[in-house]
């Protein structure tokens, strides 16, 4: 069992001193604000108290199992994307809660929301409303679709964005099954969250240089389509088009982990020298190196289907350990293929301490994933457990002398 870590005592990341009022939820926005929180930002997560069916706060509190006796609002997905945040419960339909939120906004640098913009308008939280409270606010809206297009304001979830962005068309171009399919990971949410985190830091840099805040829109469809078409626009980068959609090396049914005698490896010789060396150790001598289909990068790019098919015929002749021992000294890119239940035993992840264990006062021992980006001068850290619903309401409101249920002085 991993040694239990202690929470850090203070923020040391590059965003230390930045306060974010966070009206995001689910995965997209919450992933973005956790990245910023890991990097030092003070993220105040505003959550709804819930209705007659209970289950208040971020809906991601509830999927999955919790340990016996633990509160059901601390589900596993919530744990992975809400550390380093403080939870404040406010019923934003209540004028007193709205006034309390205005006080919090006055103290903030960033206002981040994933509520549909029309909903924010109805709550009096459109950009102009928030700007009137804090003129230099960086207001970041995680939208489903850009406000200039006909889909603006429509609901958007990962499944929908994978479908609309063309992402669901990638597997059909790989395996010949024409049925569109979505990838079994929340890639649209997480990619959009990465765009959002980067947009916040860029807007903060602009404000530091100019003193000006701004409205920043981060639309999922545009972000994910941009992400996808980096390589898959391919021949359609030209006008008129010169050929196909999809980077052939990537939409190749043989681009996959290769079976060995006892498992699988990820293997990708890339340079001319690496392929020549691989052909040699695979037992083909220089016959394939002289084959015009594989003579250089451009030729291999046209014939990846045949090339990867040949690789697959030879990898099964040796064990995973034998291939690693043979190829690593030649600097040929190769790794052991991990199953999910093998990740904690991966020697590299173990050496860098990627999986960290903490003790939560309400749920007991739980794992966190170490912030992956390394800042040598201002390291990210984990200093707060994922919060219980409303855990920090009294603490935050007391900072401004607010008591809900009482009228504030005029």
What pLDDT digit, counting tens, does each position of 300-314 carry? 988 999 999 999 999
Q: Which of 23, 18, 17 is nearest to 130 (CA)?
A: 23
What pLDDT digit, counting tens, does each position of 4-39 carry? 999 999 999 999 999 999 999 999 999 999 999 999
Cβ-contact 213, 207 below 8 angstroms: yes
Residue 403 CA: distances (Å) to CA of 105, 138, 408? 17, 27, 8
Query: Has residue 233 got a pLDDT over 90?
Result: yes
Predicted local distance difference test score (pLDDT) of residue 406: 56
Predicted local distance difference test score (pLDDT) of residue 238: 97
Q: In what order do the strands lie in the sheet containing 264-267?
A: 258-259, 264-267, 334-336
Virtual CA dihedral for 377, 383, 389, 392, nearest 10 degrees?
-90
Q: List CB contacts of 245: < 8 A, sequence separation 6 or more.
A: 173, 232, 233, 234, 235, 236
pLDDT grade, residue 410 (50/70/90)?
A: very low
Query: Has residue 286 got a pLDDT over 90?
Result: no
pTM, rounded to two decimals: 0.94
* Range scoring the smallest mean pLDDT among 43-57, 115-129, 243-257, 346-360: 43-57
What pLDDT digit, counting tens, does each position of 305-340 carry? 999 999 999 999 999 999 999 999 999 999 999 999
- Domains of the chain and any CATH numbers: 19-228+356-399 (3.40.50.10540), 258-336 (3.30.1540.10)
């Amino acid at each position: 069992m991993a040694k239990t870590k202690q929470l850090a005592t203070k923020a040391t990341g590059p965003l230390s001193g930045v306060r974010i009022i966070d009206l995001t939820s689910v995965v997209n926005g919450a992933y973005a604000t956790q990245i910023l929180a890991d990097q030092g930002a003070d993220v105040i997560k505003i959550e709804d108290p819930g209705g007659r069916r209970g289950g208040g706060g971020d809906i991601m509190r509830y999927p999955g199992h919790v340990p016996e006796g633990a509160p059901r609002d601390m589900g596993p997905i919530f744990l992975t994307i809400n550390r380093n945040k403080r939870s404040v419960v406010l019923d934003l339909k209540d004028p007193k809660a709205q006034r309390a939120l205005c006080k919090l906004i006055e103290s903030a640098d960033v206002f981040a929301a994933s509520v549909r913009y029309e909903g924010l308008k109805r709550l009096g939280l459109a950009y102009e409303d928030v700007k009137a409270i804090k003129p230099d606010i960086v207001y970041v809206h995680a939208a489903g679709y850009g406000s200039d297009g006909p889909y603006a304001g429509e609901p958007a979830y990962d499944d929908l964005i994978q479908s609309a962005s063309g992402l669901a068309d990638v597997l059909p171009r790989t395996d010949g099954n024409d049925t569109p399919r979505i990838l079994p990971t929340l890639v649209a949410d997480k990619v959009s969250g990465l765009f959002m985190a980067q947009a916040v830091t860029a807007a903060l840099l602009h404000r530091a240089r100019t003193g000006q805040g701004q409205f920043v829109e981060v639309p999922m469809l545009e972000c994910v389509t941009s992400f996808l078409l980096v390589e898959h626009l391919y021949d359609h980068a030209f006008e008129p088009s010169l050929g196909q959609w999809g980077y052939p090396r990537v939409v190749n049914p043989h681009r996959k982990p290769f079976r060995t005698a006892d498992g699988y490896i990820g293997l990708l010789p890339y340079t001319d020298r690496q392929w020549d060396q691989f052909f040699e150790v695979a037992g083909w001598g220089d016959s394939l190196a002289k084959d015009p289909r594989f003579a250089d990068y451009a030729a291999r790019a046209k014939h990846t289907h045949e090339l990867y098919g040949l690789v697959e015929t030879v990898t099964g002749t040796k064990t995973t350990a034998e291939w690693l021992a043979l190829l690593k000294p030649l600097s040929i890119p190769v790794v052991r293929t991990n199953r999910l239940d093998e990740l904690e035993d991966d020697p590299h992840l173990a050496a860098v301490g990627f999986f960290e264990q903490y003790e939560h006062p309400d749920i007991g021992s739980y794992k966190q994933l170490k912030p992956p980006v390394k800042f040598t001068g201002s390291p990210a850290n984990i200093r707060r457990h994922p919060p219980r619903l409303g855990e920090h309401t009294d603490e935050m409101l007391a900072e401004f002398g607010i008591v809900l249920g009482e009228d504030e002085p005029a």
